[in-house]
Amino acid sequence: MSDSNKNIILSLENISISFSRDYKKDGKELTESKAILKDISLNLNNGEIVALMGGNGSGKTTLFNIISGLMDPDEGKVIYINNDITDWKADRRAKAGIGRLFQDNHIFQNITVMENMCLSSSNRVGEFPFISLFQQDKSRRIEKEREKKAVGILSELFEGNHETLLDKKNKLAGELSYGEKRLLGLARIFMGEYDLVLLDEPSAGVNEALIKNIQDMVKKITKKNVTIFFIEHEQQFVKDIADRVIYIKNGRIASIEKSDIII
């Protein structure tokens, strides 16, 4: 880990985590422990696109949770751009440039599409109580910037029925179709300034036509020299855009391959 230190954006060292449950059986106190991840170490290079693959329940989402800061590992360290962020809370990690797309549709159902986008902006000025009351011009200007950026992103997203997400910008996000919600989730990533983006199954549950659209969007993210770490089951998808693939099995890394080796 010497000369390529400058190029490694994320480094996981010996990450282990397990869930345990206390229960009683035949009058005895037992603790059932299930190791989810065992001694995971890996490096991601700046600007790489890496896929994380493995069977269901192999711990992929848990690994992402640990990187995002939503779960604490039992052992191991998370190093991000040469900083040990193992103790950092999730919001601090996000501010430092780690973005996250969740597997289920974690969008904000009860606010509009446009509000979803603005809330995802990395520009958090004005999110302080009453400040926009006193600095009306400034906050209005910043809000316009946010909206403009959102409009740019939304106008390129559509589900295939000739209506872009931009047309639906004032609709409550909860009223969108499944595919549209997925797109919105991805769109929110664009609103932020991230250096490392974690995508959890971006094309899950989405129909064929849309997958291409999503692929294009993911490729667009890479143009900004952003490192992408993504979980996917769609082999073709992975083959098309990933540089490397990391396979996880039973909580351990099984292999790391170049993506053209995928069968």
Partner 1 sequence: MLLQFIINGIIIGSIYSLVSLGFALVYNTTRIFHLAYAALYMFAPYILLTFYIHLGIPFLLAFIVSIICTMTLSYLIEYFIYKPLNKNRSSSEVILISSLGIMIVIINVIAMLYGNETKIIESSISNSVSFGEIIITYNQFWQIGVSFILITMFFIFLYNSKFGKKSRALRDDAELFIVMGYSANRMRMQLFLLSGFFVAAGSNLIAFDVGMDPYVGMPMLLNAIVALLIGGVGRFEAPILGGFIIGVLQALSIWAFSARWQDAITFLLLILFLVFRPQGILGEKQRMV
Partner 2 sequence: MINIYIILSTSTNLLVGVTNLLSLGQAAFYGIGAYLAVYALMILHFPLIPTLLFVSLFTSLSSLFIAYPSLRLKGDYFVLATLGFQLIVYTILYNWVDVTRGPYGIPGIPAPKLLGLFEVTGIIPFLILSTILAVLTVYLFLHLIHSPFGRVLKGIRDDEVSVETLGRDVTKFKVWAFVISSGFIGIAGVLYATYVSYIDPTSFNLDEAIYILTAVLIGGSGNIKGPVLGAVFVVVLPELLRFVGMPDNVAANMRQIIFGLILIVLMRVRPWGLWGEKRIV
* Widest distance between CA atoms in the chain: 70
Rg, Å, the chain Cα set: 20
**Closer Cβ to partner 2, 141 or 258, answer by number:** 141
Angstrom distance (rounded) from CA 251 to CA 59: 6
Residue 128 interacting entry, from partner 1, partner 2, none, C-beta within 5 to 8 Å by type: partner 2
180 is written with which tokens?
């549209």
Smallest distance, partner 1 to C-beta of residue 65, A: 7
Look at the chain and count its residues: 263
Over the range 147-170, which residues count as b (16 or more CB within 10 Å of their CB) and which as e?
A: bebbeebbebbbbeeeebbbebbe
CA atoms lying within 13 Å on the CB side of residue 178: 9
Q: Among 1, 21, 110, 170, which residue sits at the site for partner 1 (rule: CB under 8 A)?
A: 21
**Closer Cβ to partner 2, 55 or 174, answer by number:** 174
Residue 208 interacting entry, from partner 2, partner 1, none, C-beta within 5 to 8 Å by type: none
Question: Per rule CB under 8 A, is residue 23 in the interface with partner 1?
Answer: yes
Contact window for partner 2 (CB under 8 A) among 2-10, 48-56, 123-131, 149-157 = 123-131
**Closer Cβ to partner 1, 61 or 121, answer by number:** 61
Residue 94 interacting entry, from partner 2, partner 1, none, C-beta within 5 to 8 Å by type: partner 2
Question: Per rule CB under 8 A, is residue 15 in the interface with partner 2?
Answer: no
Question: Per rule CB under 8 A, is residue 227 in the interface with partner 1?
Answer: no
Question: Per rule CB under 8 A, is residue 28 in the interface with partner 1?
Answer: no
**Closer Cβ to partner 1, 20 or 155, answer by number:** 20
Q: Among 35, 46, 88, 115, which residue sits at the site for partner 2 (rule: CB under 8 A)?
A: 115
CA angle (243, 245, 248) in 5-degree steps = 165
- The amino acid at residue 74 is D
Within residues 55-84, the interface with partner 1 by CB under 8 A covers: 65, 70-71
**Closer Cβ to partner 1, 74 or 156, answer by number:** 74
> Strand 49-54 vs strand 227-231: parallel, antiparallel, or unpaired?
parallel
Contact in structure between 238 and 53 (CB atoms under 8 Å): yes
Residue 132 interacting entry, from partner 1, partner 2, none, C-beta within 5 to 8 Å by type: partner 2
Q: Tell me the backbone φ, ψ of residue 53, rounded to 5 degrees.
A: -125, 160
